[in-house]
Structure 1
Amino acid sequence: MHPTRRLAIALAAGTLAVPLLSTPTAHAAGSYDCFFGDRTTAADDYQISGNSCDGAGYSDVVITVLSGSAAGSHRCRTAFSWNGFLSANGCRPA
């Protein structure tokens, strides 16, 4: 392979890799805002089921609920959201 071609390939690979350095880890630590939420007591913590939610994140998530039995701010170990519905586990007051 010609040295100029090797250099061009190396530069192209470097140019494509640079933006990846500033990419955050896969949704670590996020937040959600929910219009309505229910709180269900578990062993040492509680679970939250929310409706009309917007946000992002899967682990170490802060959830703010405007109305319902879960109204307030919570920090949860895990959360999953789909089409505005949220399910979060391992929650405690934030």
Structure 2
Amino acid sequence: MLLRRLLPIALGAVLLTTLAPAAAAGAVADHECFSGQLTPTGDTYKMTAWGCGGGGYVDVTVRLMVGAEAGTYLCGHVFSWNGTLVGERCVKE
């Protein structure tokens, strides 16, 4: 009888502890990339970067770690797939 009352509470606690960090990680709006290339588009840049990880799509901070373009950029929107990132309307911070 006691087990039937405590089992749902225990299962709820396990689910909460395993899902809460995943939800927080999904809220991250930053990307880190190993290297990248910038193409001027007027006052902003189009960015193509490789070796990327992170999350977010709109108003995202992207950090390029090595290369001539190394630095931190704010991009209006990005699309990331399999470690490759394309950013539009990027400016150096």
| Alpha-carbon distance, 1:66 to partner | 0.8
Query: Could you say what the CA RMSD is over the residues aligned between the two structures, in angstroms?
Result: 2.0
Give TM-score scaled by structure 2 length.
Answer: 0.68
Q: 1-side partners of 2:56 and 2:87: how far apart?
A: 11
Separation (CA, whole Å) in 2 of partners of 1:93 and 1:54: 19
- Which ranges of structure 2 fall in alignment gaps of 5 or more residues? 1-22
Instruction: State the alpha-carbon separation in 2 of the partners of residues 80 and 54 from structure 1.
Output: 11
- Counting matched residue pairs gives 70
Give the corresponding residue for 2:30.
31
Cα deviation, 1:25-83, whole Å, max 9, x if unaligned, reads: x96x7110000100110012101100000000000000000123321000000000000
Secondary structure at the counterpart of residue 65 of structure 2: strand
Give the share of equivalent positions with the same residue, in percent: 33
**Unpaired stretches in structure 1, ≥5 consecutive residues:** 1-22
Q: TM-score, normalised by structure 1?
A: 0.67
CA distance in 2, matches of 1:69, 1:51: 14
Match of 1:51 in 2: 50
Query: What corresponds to 1:40 in structure 2?
Result: 39
Conservation of the 8 A alpha-carbon contact between 1:39 and 1:69 = no
The 1:39/1:69 distance shift into structure 2, 3 A limit, reads farther
Q: Match for 2:69: what amino acid?
A: A
Between Structure 1 and Structure 2, whose CA radius of gyration is higher? 1
Q: Does residue 81 in structure 1 map to residue 60 in structure 2?
A: no
Distance 1:38 1:77 in 2: 16
